[in-house]
Structure 1
Amino acid sequence: MVPDPVRAFVRRHPNVRYATRCLRSHLPQVLGGLDATLLPPRVRSFDLVLPRREGGESLGPDLLSLSVPGDYWVPRRLQALGLAGYRPEIVSCFLSVLDYARPGAVLDIGSGVGLYSLLAAARSRRRVYAFEPTPDVAATAGAIAAANGLAVRVEETALSNHTGTGWLRLSAVSEASNSLTSGFRPELGRVEVRVDTASRWRERDNIVPSVLRIDTGPTEPDVIAGALEILRRFRPWIMCGVVPDHGVEERLMALLEPLDYSWHHLCGPPPYPAGTTITASRTPRERTWLFAPEAPEPAFWENVRLWGDALKTCTPNA
């Protein structure tokens, strides 16, 4: 049995993790060995084709060059599927929100390697802030943005409903499912991270947020609770993940109803009608909702459709 501190150390350091897996590839599987043919590369390097909407402004690069630890889940999916196959309903709606939200900054909360931050920096003129508390993942996000000349400020901070520090549980599933919540995913260890509220951070940096994307496991209601001043004052558009089995749906509705937000489930082809309740799907691709500060007009949904058409060309072999 490997002690949890050792697991956590290996999980936090990509080079150690890779070396450990190489050693395990020489062991019998009954002793914890790994199939050498299934080992991810030490570094995964590839180009990601970006969409351009018909009739849209010509901004940013046509593709991104990514070089990341080989076992990261999101880059692995992006390399295999391109943006055409990686949650196109969500990506197209996010790009349309960038077009329609009032002037202001993008806060990508729980950014991971920064896919949505990179899209915002490449396809808008907005200031972009990526909040990712996992040290090595935050460093990767910053390195990708810098390598592609995109202005993304990475904050190695977890946003929640309080300030101080907290324990980030390192997921055994993927780098994309680390969480402040104990038991959300099987854990390989934990690391102490800085915790802040979006409202306090905004006040210190004097930022006007107009777009929030929140993907923090089951703590999305805590992020919203810590951003209530922002929602009241600036009425940002919000894209938010909703996971099952943690009471996230009820807490989100209780927070958003007094603020007169509508909620739209991003599932299937647009338009997405306003729902009467927020529900959580067990299918990861169907867990994202749009929280709108005003009723989206037909032109907004048509813009989502146009971005969706543009994404169809963003295949791995494009």
Structure 2
Amino acid sequence: MNDYLQSLKGRKQKWFGLKLPVKTALAQPFLHPMLRTLAPHISGIRIGRLPAPIGLTEVRGRAGGGNFYLVDPFRCEIAKEFYWGKGRRTEEEDAFALDLMVELSRDADVFVDIGAYTGVFTMAVLAANPDAIAHSFEIIPAVVTGLERNIARNRLGDRVTVHPTGVGRPGTTMQVPTGDGGSALPSFYSTGMDFDSGAEVRFTSLDELLPDLPPGRPTVTVKIDVEGAENDVLDDGRELLDTLRPDILCEVLDDRARPEQLMHVLDRFDYHYYLVGGDHLVARDEIVPDPHLRDWLFTTKNPEDMRVAGYPIR
């Protein structure tokens, strides 16, 4: 077993130990105002990746008409985007994906957030739909703490069930770093990585969530962001897919996806495929990972149904 954190890729991710001190310096009161002024005018820079001020405790976000808060923008990668984007995500396709999930969940009874990170989708969906409840899954202990802090800040404790578990092959486990320390709460760990130490996390299946849902046939929407493990999530969620046919927003990474296996599961339940663009959806006959756009919508609604419902389809 090779520890990902000691690999060349893992060490590069942390700039060989320089990332935290550089980020901390740029977040200080004497440097950050200059960064804030100059950064938006520098061509090619992605401002959402720059640090937020070190003393900032929270940011306010908005999506689909709802408002919510995210805490600790210095360490939370999503919260700092909302700082730089003045309440919105900084990349247009990410902002559109969040609005899309909120709109799809407008009348949902349950929102399932798999790979929740610190819960931006959970916060946004529940802010816009006061009748929905959420089940949010996250495997990294420090990130789970961040998720719980956001739930408390938004006063959603009675509407969100936090699952500090993975979703995939039931009964399996993996070691993951706790996520403490470092320049940011990690957002890219996956089941395809090996770690020499950390917390042991167990995995449950999507189907095992069924008994915890409201009786009858509740309307359910799902967001999946599991860094290439979406096949395992859906493969062991066939009963839920068959019973409830949820709308699913799913990250499909160009370098990790297994689209043939993904379609093998979804095709049997008559799902349609839409690539999520900057301000529209692109109807596709097959899932073909895009090198620039990560998110896909899987739904049983055909393009005409989506157009009638007011969604921008190309």
| TM-score exceeds 0.5 | yes
Change (3 A) 1:301 1:175: farther
Q: For 1:1-318, what aligned pairs fall within 5 Å after superposition?
A: 25=21, 34=22, 37-38=25-26, 44-51=56-63, 53=65, 63-68=67-72, 70-81=74-85, 82-83=87-88, 85-86=90-91, 87-99=94-106, 103-124=108-129, 125-150=131-156, 151-168=159-176, 175-182=186-193, 190-203=198-211, 208=218, 210-270=220-280, 272-283=281-292, 286-295=293-302, 296-302=305-311
Q: How far off its partner does 1:297 sit?
A: 3.0
AA aligned opposite 1:166: M
Change (3 A) 1:193 1:99: same
Q: How far off its partner does 1:113 sit?
A: 0.3
* Whole-angstrom CA distance in 2 between matches of 1:6 and 1:222: 24
Q: How far off its partner does 1:203 sit?
A: 2.6
* Whole-angstrom CA distance in 2 between matches of 1:250 and 1:179: 20
Q: How far off its partner does 1:67 sit?
A: 2.4
3-state SS, counterpart of residue 135 of structure 2: strand
Change (3 A) 1:71 1:99: closer
Q: How far off its partner does 1:96 sit?
A: 1.6
Spell out, residue by residue over 1:228-251, the C-alpha distance to the aligned partner (whole angstroms, 9 max, x if none): 110001111111000122342222
Indicate conservation of the 8 Å contact 2:81/2:88, yes or no: no
- State the match for 1:57 in structure 2: none
3-state SS, counterpart of residue 251 of structure 1: helix
Give unmatched runs, 5+ long, in structure 1: 8-19, 26-33, 54-61, 306-318
Q: How far off its partner does 1:274 sit?
A: 2.5
Q: How far off its partner does 1:99 sit?
A: 2.4
Percent of pairs identical after alignment?
20
3-state SS, counterpart of residue 217 of structure 1: coil
3-state SS, counterpart of residue 255 of structure 2: coil
* Whole-angstrom CA distance in 1 between matches of 2:309 and 2:23: 48
> Over aligned residues, Cα RMSD in angstroms?
3.4
Q: State which drifts further: 231-240 or 187-196.
A: 187-196
Q: State which drifts further: 205-214 or 251-260.
A: 205-214
TM-score (norm 2): 0.73
Q: How far off its partner does 1:210 sit?
A: 1.0
- Runs of 4+ in structure 1 off by over 4 angstroms are 4-7, 39-44, 169-174, 187-190, 204-209
Indicate conservation of the 8 Å contact 2:172/2:202, yes or no: yes
- State the match for 2:46 in structure 1: none
* Whole-angstrom CA distance in 2 between matches of 1:51 and 1:36: 29
Indicate conservation of the 8 Å contact 2:73/2:83, yes or no: no
Tell me which of the two structures has the higher relative contact order, counting C-alpha pairs closer than 8 angstroms and 6 or more residues apart: 1
Indicate conservation of the 8 Å contact 1:96/1:300, yes or no: no
AA aligned opposite 2:25: T
Aligned residues: 267
AA aligned opposite 1:234: L
* Whole-angstrom CA distance in 1 between matches of 2:221 and 2:4: 38
More helix by share: 1
